[in-house]
Copies of this chain bind each other. A is one copy, B any other.
Amino acid sequence: MESASNDVDGVPATEMSAGKEAPSSEPTTGAKKGGGKADRNALKAERLAARMAAASLNSKVVDDPLACNYGDVPMKELQSKEISGKVWTKVGDLEKSLDGKVVLVRGRVHSVRGKGNLGFLVIREAGCTVQAVLTVGEHVSKGMVKYASQLSKESIVDVEGVVTVPNKPIESTSQQVELQVRKVYCVSKAVPALPLNIEDAARSEASFEQEGAQFSRVNQDVRLNNRVLDLRTPANQATFRLQSAVGQLFREFLVEREFVEIHTPKMIAGASEGGASVFTLDYMGQRACLAQSPQLYKQMAICADMGRVFEIGPVFRAEKSNTHRHLCEFTGLDLEMEIKEHYFEVLELLDGMFLHIFNALNTKYKKELDAVNQQFPFEPLQYLQDGCRLTFAEGVELLKEAGIEIDPFDDLSTETERRLGQLVKEKYKTDFYVLHRYPVAARPFYTMPCADDPRYTNSFDIFIRGEEIISGAQRIHDPELLTVKAIEKGMDVKAIASYVDSFRYGAVPHGGAGVGLERVIMLFCDLKNIRKTSMFPRDPSRLTP
């Protein structure tokens, strides 16, 4: 692939490899030497290595006195040869305060343009961009401008230059300075024909609607098939930094409140949430399931005196749900805690936690939210500083007032949930609220029934913009009641025997909840498709990349 763009300054690659610099172009590989075991693989490898040695030659041009200021970095130089003490600056850190300073950056060729004695490279790093200008003169030769102009998009380059501040604001790059280039070296070349163009992938819906716009749309499948490229857009760079932030904020909040992080097995003997949607595998001759949640194990950790626990880990669901909000593998933020008296203790913790998360995102991650907003505009999340809590019955009533009659003892449909979200927003001015005291039919067998009305349970869901992000409840800590409820729900009691037995050795009342990480980001930023918030999503038809 490298040879494709190796025809630099009119010197064909083949000529270069036979040229004067050949002695320094030892193969960098450990391909077997001497004809001893010259098997097929070794031969193949040697041939490839020879081609590479040719390709990685520094493409200096003999008659350019500034030749040492540009060119391809030979592979050898990138194999931990030395520590030079050079200092690199991040593109995102290039600010006006650096005016006049010489800086060195490593980034991608985002776009490239040549025009006589001028060359323009836009360099991108982690979604931030800066314009680098090559002007033929003391530091820059014509050959150098030509070399730079022929760099393929997305190649990695080291650029040394002087920071300057233009008079006008720069609209085409994120950074408000330019670099007057002195040196440019290519560290890694991208193939010239990319499966998708980052600029296309980064365009907002609005830009397609502009007059005369003739851009290519990059559809979701092309994006996901070439995720490594798709993830390079500013919005995606920001999305996964926001995802990381939510994880840290979640943990930080819990660790401060004496939660212990646990890691429970994902290969388990029986289905953790029962039923059909479970992946199975052969475990050393036994049938095993992939955990559909850490539910049983986090409760066992409570029975093991851990007091308050949380786990962040993959959750596996073999559901054939091709929707905007289902994945076959997602990241669960799970917690479980001893409660002294009431499941409101869990709700208070969750209310406080999400307030902490939302406030921090809105203050400390403004730059990331702006980057998402630019491509996918969204209304900021409305939420109350002191929470909003409705009972299921109150929810049913609210729907009834709006003319929607539903079975008050059955679960809500996705459509009804969304409608209820709108009604709650109108009435309480919040996109984030808690619905609690769900009817028995809507909850799993291990949910504690209400003390005052056995038709309801001590359970809750939490919603953002009318979609569920959290399910939780007080759990049944009594083995007999648990057995009663399992039988009522038609469970195979034998299959959950070791779980039920955990409660026979004394068990504290406890409750907990599970949060879907991808959903939190999707709904906070109103991204409308969960595949946008999973780095390498898994759905019924996607197992790669």
Contacts and interface: CB of A to CB of B under 8 A. Distances in A.
Interface of A: 1-2, 27-32, 41-42, 44-45, 48-49, 51-52, 55, 75-84, 86, 88, 106, 108-109, 124-127, 152, 154-156, 187-191, 194, 227-229, 231-232, 236-237, 240-241, 243-244, 247-248, 251, 255, 260-269, 279-284, 286, 288, 290, 297, 300-301, 303-307, 312-314, 316, 318, 320, 328-329, 331, 338-344, 440, 448-452, 454-455, 458, 474, 477-481, 483-485, 487-488, 490, 498, 502-509, 517, 534-536, 538, 540-541, 543-545
Nearest to A90: B307
A480 B51 contact: yes
Contacts of A505: 154, 190-191, 194, 228-229
A478 to B, nearest CB: 6
Given A48-B487, A484-B52, A267 B452 contact: no
A1 B504 CA distance: 7
13 contacts: A29-B488, A45-B487, A45-B488, A82-B342, A83-B341, A156-B507, A194-B505, A240-B262, A267-B290, A267-B538, A284-B540, A297-B535, A301-B535
Contacts of A329: 265-267
A267 B314 CA distance: 10
Given A48-B483, A188-B507, A545 B498 contact: yes
A229 to B, nearest CB: 6
Q: What are the 9 A-B residue pairs with the smallest beta carbon separation, nearest first?
A: A231-B304, A30-B454, A190-B506, A79-B451, A281-B281, A81-B451, A244-B261, A154-B506, A80-B342
Contacts of A86: 340-341
A519 B444 CA distance: 36
A316 to B, nearest CB: 7
Given A79-B450, A82-B341, A480 B2 contact: yes
B508 A188 contact: yes
A244 to B, nearest CB: 4
A266 B263 contact: no
A488 B41 contact: yes
Contact of A312 (B191, B228, B312): B312
B240 A248 contact: no
A172 to B, nearest CB: 19
A281 B290 contact: yes
Contacts of A338: 106
A399 to B, nearest CB: 23
Contacts of A32: 488
A261 B262 CA distance: 17
Nearest to A299: B228
Contact of A458 (B80, B240, B247, B485): B80
Nearest to A296: B545
A80 to B, nearest CB: 4
A51 B484 CA distance: 11
Max chain B C-beta neighbours (<10 A), residue from A127, A190, A451, A455: A451
Nearest to A477: B188
A29 B449 contact: yes
A130 to B, nearest CB: 15
A286 to B, nearest CB: 6
Nearest to A348: B83
Max chain B C-beta neighbours (<10 A), residue from A247, A506, A540: A506
B31 A488 contact: yes
Given A29-B488, A262-B244, A450-B80, A305 B237 contact: yes
Nearest to A152: B506
Contacts of A262: 240, 244, 535
Max chain B C-beta neighbours (<10 A), residue from A82, A191, A237, A244: A244
A290 to B, nearest CB: 7
A303 B198 CA distance: 14
